[in-house]
Structures are given as C-alpha cells and as structure tokens.
Amino acid sequence: MSDSKEVSISIENKIAFITINAPKTLNALNRKIIKEIHQHLYNIKYDNDVRVVIITGAGEKAFVAGANIKEFASFSKKEGQELAQSGHDLLFNKIANFSKPVIAAVNGYALGGGLELAMACHMRVASENAKLGQPEVSLGLIPGYGGTQRLTQLIGKGKAFEMILTGQMISAKEGLSLGLLNYVVSLEELMPKAIEIASKTIENSPAAIKKSIKAINAVFGNIGLQNEVELFGQCFGTDEFKEGTQAFLEKRKPNFK
Ligand code: HXC
C-alpha cells in the first residue's frame, strides 16, 4: 500500500477513476506520482470489475501542469534521459498500450508532461477552462514524454510545429477544432461526459476493444519515441536548460543568448 495521498482510485460501475491531487504544484508529475499511477494501473489491469479508466486532476485549475520542474532542474544528461525513459516504461506507454480504454478528463491546465499524459490516453474530454500546451522549449527542453510524436499524430505536422516551437498554450475550443480533444464541455459536465463515453465502451466486447487498441497503435512505430528520449536527454546540463529552468523557479522570463 502506498502511503501517499497524491493519487487516488475509486471504482464504480466498472469504471476506475484515477485522480491526481497535488495542488501545491498544480498536479505536476514527479517520480512518486508516476509510480503511484503505474501501481494503480497494474492493480486494475486484470480486474474484471474494471472495464475502462478515467484519469483526471483534482480541483478546477489543473489537470497536470507538466513534469515537476523543481525535481529535474539539477539533473544530468543521464538522469534526464532516464527520467523520460522510465516515464514511458512506467506510465505513458503503459497507458497508450493499456488493454482497456483510458479516457483523460482534462479539467484545467494540461501542459508539457500533462498534455503528454492526456495524449497517451485513448480519448480526451476537456472542460471549457482547459489550456493545452507544450512549453518545454521555454525551459531549454523538448517534450520528452511522447509529445513530439503523439501531438504530431493527433494534429498534424504544421500545427504540432507551431505548438512546440512557440510553446504557446491553446484554448480547449482550439484543441477541439484541431482534433486534439474529442469533446469540450462545461466543468460541471466534464465527468458526466467522460462517464457517458466510458459507458458506451463498456457495452462492447472487451476482447475486441483490446485488439482494436493494439491495431490502432500498430499504425505508429516506436522509433520516434526512442529518438525523442535521446534528444530530450541531450538538453540536460546545457546552459540553455539551466537558464530556462532557473528562470521558471525564479518566476522570470528566460534570457536565451
Ligand atoms: C513544478 C510547478 C509546475 C511544474 C506549476 N508549479 N507548474 N512546480 N513543476 N510543472 C507550481 C509553481 O511553481 C507554484 O508554486 C504553484 O505551482 C502555482 O503555480 P503558479 O505559477 O504560481 O500559478 P499561475 O501563475 O496560475 O500559472 C499557472 C501555470 C504556471 C501557467 C500553469 O504554473 C506554469 O507555467 N507552470 C509550468 C508549466 C510548464 O512549463 N510545464 C512543463 C514542465 S516540463 P509556488 O511554490 O510558487 O506556489 C515537462 C517535461 C515533460 O513537462 C517531459 C519529461 C520527461
């Protein structure tokens, strides 16, 4: 049993609700939180009482505001690469290849690793206040939890370049029009909408669903993800990485020479 209260799970009507609750950092992902979500997924994988998973963030401000910048700000190249690789192994690829549908209920900021978490899920519903972005370049980094691959797969190369190279956030409405989100609803309607989609999948054959997920994922290879992990690791320890992360921690704009 984990002693942390940062990730909780409840199961109701064959739906597992996984909630990330770390308000002080806007639900930013650290290694402990990643391990906790991993453990919950492991526990429900073969549980016949669970047919679908909904992942959300607690509160009304953030789904997940990214990987925890404080945690990795002093990482070396090796540690940076290991951060990305272990994230994929424990969580992001686990979700993408999970045998049951996983739905992200995006209740606010989904930035960096937060948007990447939502994109690893099979479907995304967001509330109107949600803001989506890959701001890593402002930290001297690149997206390292699959963003360069999954964002491009979801919205196409041109818009993926725009989001990643400008680092700017987009609104939920724009995310919907780009195909990044399946639905946008009011905050009150977020969970009901996610449950509605979940309930529709529950009516269908679990074996056929499992095979569908496998078949759809087979459209995309893993070489790009591996390449991303290596490039992500190369960012660590550079002057630009130090400036980008320091600037965030000091609450100022970075000054890249
Ligand atoms: C650590 C974070 C955080 C993060 C927010 N906080 N995001 N801490 N890591 N990713 C903390 C802040 O430091 C602050 O702590 C508290 O949460 C509230 O945040 P504020 O910035 O004061 O709130 P606000 O002004 O409303 O701005 C909200 C925000 C901003 C726009 C979401 O917090 C923000 O830009 N966050 C960083 C987003 C980001 O760059 N994400 C990508 C991370 S890199 P204090 O102690 O001051 O109250 C990444 C890499 C993924 O995700 C790949 C890894 C392999």
The reported pLDDT for the residue numbered 5 is 79
63 CA distance to ligand 1 middle (Å): 12
The reported pLDDT for the residue numbered 256 is 97
25 CA distance to ligand 1 middle (Å): 6
Q: Note the ipTM here.
A: 0.99
Hey, which CATH number is domain 2-202, 3.90.226.10, 3.30.70.370, 3.40.50.880, 3.60.40.10? 3.90.226.10
Q: Give the residue whose CA is nearest to atom 13 of ligand 1.
A: 25
Distance (Å, rounded) from C-alpha 248 to C-alpha 167?
A: 14
* List 116, 174, 196, 240, catalytic entry: 116
Q: Is 196 a catalytic residue?
A: no
Q: Which atom of ligand 1 is nearest to the CA of 80?
A: 55
* List 71, 82, 128, 136, catalytic entry: 136
Q: Is 36 a catalytic residue?
A: no
Question: How many residues are given for the chain?
Answer: 257
228 CA distance to ligand 1 middle (Å): 22
pLDDT (tens digit, 9 = 90+) per residue, 158-217?
A: 999 999 999 999 999 999 999 999 999 999 999 999 999 999 999 999 999 999 999 999
29 CA distance to ligand 1 middle (Å): 10
Ligand 1 in reach of 249 Cβ (< 6 A): no
Distance (Å, rounded) from C-alpha 77 to C-alpha 85?
A: 12
Instruction: Give every CB contact of residue 101 below 8 A, 6+ residues apart in sequence.
Output: 52, 53, 122, 123, 198, 201, 209, 213
Tell me the mean pLDDT per 10 residues along the chain, length 257.
77 98 98 97 96 98 98 96 97 98 98 98 98 98 98 98 98 98 98 98 97 96 94 96 97 96
The reported pLDDT for the residue numbered 75 is 96
Using CA atoms, how far residue 30 sits from 68, 79, 209, in Å, is: 5, 14, 31
